[in-house]
Amino acid sequence: MRKISKISIVLVLILVMALFTGCAKENKYVNVGVEMSTAGLSLYLTNTAAGLEKISTYVFFPEDADETFDKISRNKQGIDISYIPVKELSRIKADSNFRVVYIDCFEENGDLKGVWIARDGWIKDAPTYSQRYMNGLAKSTDYRAEHMNMSYDEALASIKGMRDFDFTVQNETLQFVAVFDQSNDDVIANEKFEVKNTAELGRMFDGFESGRGEGYELCRAAYDKYCTAADAMSFEEMFSFDMMYSAFENAHSK
């Protein structure tokens, strides 16, 4: 009896240790922040409408940048990943728990326009689903680049008078935006932006870690322009593109 009791105690100890050594399940739901602009919505709506990567999401539409950064700073009941305009990089401080993880779009003159920031805790606690979401962004990046042949006004005009929107036939990225705009009382800011596909982005950001290449120069210019405060996060810490590179590889392997 004494021998059996010792074995039972050992088994209980093993089970208890397992509970405290990383056996917790990842949260498969991604809390996404979406800015209400054509640039901010385009990748999110492309993935949603085209079903490029089926990911369970809770979507939050912040009223302004203050709300975005308040939500993404929270470890619970906040935002995991969000699009932000590059001008908001100034809000990323040395003690922030998030950083830039994906390049989205560009100004007409070639400067960076929008990026995605993600919370460190989400990437650490949900490595599978955070990478899956990044993979979805990469697939959306390619799909969007192939379908950017309509102006916003043309896309909006093409659906005037429609009541029931069928996303399966609205196969242009800006039509997705126009459709969403029509059902949301014209609350989306119409912004012009330029896009690239993942192959082009991959070439741009080749050599980034060694401080060379077009992607490095663009990020450096944005950082130097907006991150002038003494408490700004360092350039090296602010931009973390490992998951973006993996997402590019995933997009090219399909």
Q: What is the per-residue pLDDT for 38?
A: 84
Q: Which of 36-50, 130-144, 186-200, 233-247 has the lowest mean pLDDT?
A: 36-50
pLDDT at 1 over 50: no
Residue 171 Ramachandran class (φ > 0 left, ψ -120 to 50 alpha, else beta): alpha
All domains of the chain in start order, with CATH: 30-253 (3.40.190.10)
Compute how many other C-beta atoms are within 10 angstroms of the C-beta atom of residue 70: 13
Report the alpha-carbon distance of residue 112 to residue 105 in Å, rounded. 6
Q: What is the per-residue pLDDT for 125?
A: 93
Report the alpha-carbon distance of residue 1 to residue 201 in Å, rounded. 67
Instruction: Report strand pairing: 30-33 vs 81-85.
Output: parallel
Sheet hosting strand 57-60, strand order edge to edge: 57-60, 30-33, 81-85, 112-119, 98-106
Q: Which of 10-19, 78-87, 245-254 has the highest mean pLDDT?
A: 78-87
User: What would the 3-class secondary structure string for the chain be?
Assistant: CHHHHHHHHHHHHHHHHHHCCCCCCCCCCEEEECCCEHHHHHHHHHHHHHCCCCCCEEEECCCCHHHHHHHHCCCCCCCCEEEEEHHHHHHCECCCCEEEEEEEEECCCCCEEEEEEEEHHHHHHCHHHHHHHHHHHHHHHHHHHHCCCCCHHHHHHHCCCCCCCCCCCCCCHHHHHHHHHHCCCCCCECCCCECCCHHHHHHHCCCHHHCCCHHHHHHHHHHHHHCCCCCECCHHHHECCHHHHHHHHHHHHC
The percent of residues above 90 in pLDDT, for the chain, comes to: 52
pLDDT tens profile 9-61: 433 333 333 334 444 578 888 999 988 888 888 888 877 766 667 778 888 88
Report the alpha-carbon distance of residue 74 to residue 96 in Å, rounded. 10
Q: What is the per-residue pLDDT for 17?
A: 39
